[in-house]
A and B are shown apart, each in its own frame.
Chain A
Amino acid sequence: MASVEIRSLTKWYGSSRGIEDITFAIEPGEIFGYLGPNGAGKTTTIRCLMGLLRPSGGEVRVLGQRVAPGRGTQHARIGYLPGEFRIWGRPRAISSLKMLAALGGDRSSAAQRNALAERLDLNLNRPVGDLSKGNRQKVAVILAFQHQPDVLILDEPTAGLDPLMRQIVLDLICEAAHAGAAVLLSSHDLSEVSAICGRAAILREGRLVEMAPISEIVQQGEQRLKVWFKDTAFLADAPSDQLPGVRIIERTPGVLHVAYQGAADPILKWIGRFPVDRITTPQTSLQEAFMQYYQQPGPLDATGDDSKGHCP
Chain B
Amino acid sequence: MTRLSRPPFPFGLLWFWFLRLLPAWLGIAAIMFLMQIAIAAIVHDNANVRTFLGFLRLLPSIVRTALGGDMLDSGDMTALLTVGYQHPFIMFLYMVYAVGVPTGLLAGEIQHGTMELILSRPITKVQVYICTAILTLVGMFSLVMVMFLGTVASVHLYAFSEPIDLSLFFRLAINGGLLASTFGAFALLCAASFGRLYLAIGIAVGFLTLNYFIAIVAAWWPRLEFMRKATLFYLMYYSAIWREWPLENMAKLAAILLGTVIVGGVVWRRRDLPL
Which residues of A are in contact with B by a Cβ distance under 8 Å? Answer: 47, 50-54, 64-66, 68, 70-73, 75-76, 78, 80, 82, 84-88, 99-100, 102-105, 143
Contacts and interface: CB of A to CB of B under 8 A. Distances in A.
B2 A75 contact: no
A54 B119 CA distance: 14
A82 B12 contact: no
Nearest to B128: A70
Given A65-B2, A73-B4, A87-B114, A103 B122 contact: yes
Given A65-B1, A73-B4, A86-B114, A104 B125 contact: no
For the complex, would chain A's binding face be called helix, strand, loop or mixed by DSSP majority? loop
Pairs A-B, 7 closest by C-beta atoms: A104-B122, A86-B113, A70-B125, A102-B12, A103-B121, A80-B120, A76-B122
Contact of B13 (A51, A71, A80, A103): A103
24 contacts: A47-B275, A52-B116, A52-B119, A52-B273, A52-B275, A64-B1, A64-B2, A65-B4, A70-B124, A70-B126, A72-B123, A75-B120, A76-B7, A80-B120, A82-B113, A86-B112, A86-B113, A86-B114, A87-B117, A88-B112, A100-B118, A103-B121, A104-B121, A143-B117
Interface residues of B, number: 29
Contacts of B226: none
A103 B124 CA distance: 10
A82 B117 contact: yes
Nearest to A95: B16
Contact of A75 (B6, B7, B113, B273): B7
B69 interface: no
A68 B120 contact: no
Interface of B: 1-2, 4, 6-8, 10, 12-13, 16, 112-114, 116-126, 269-270, 272-273, 275
Considering residues A64, A70, A80, A84, which has the most beta carbons from chain B within 10 angstroms of its beta carbon?
A70
B248 to A, nearest CB: 37
Contacts of B116: 52, 82
B270 to A, nearest CB: 8
B173 to A, nearest CB: 34
A70 B120 CA distance: 10
A66 B275 contact: no
A71 B120 contact: no
A104 B120 CA distance: 11
Nearest to A73: B4
Nearest to B15: A99
Contacts of A143: 117
Nearest to A13: B272
A114 to B, nearest CB: 19
Contact of A100 (B4, B117, B126, B269): B117
Given A52-B119, A54-B272, A82-B120, A68 B4 contact: yes
A87 B16 CA distance: 13
A86 B126 CA distance: 22
A14 to B, nearest CB: 11
A122 to B, nearest CB: 17
B112 to A, nearest CB: 6
A50 B275 CA distance: 12
B272 A103 contact: no
Contacts of B1: 64-65
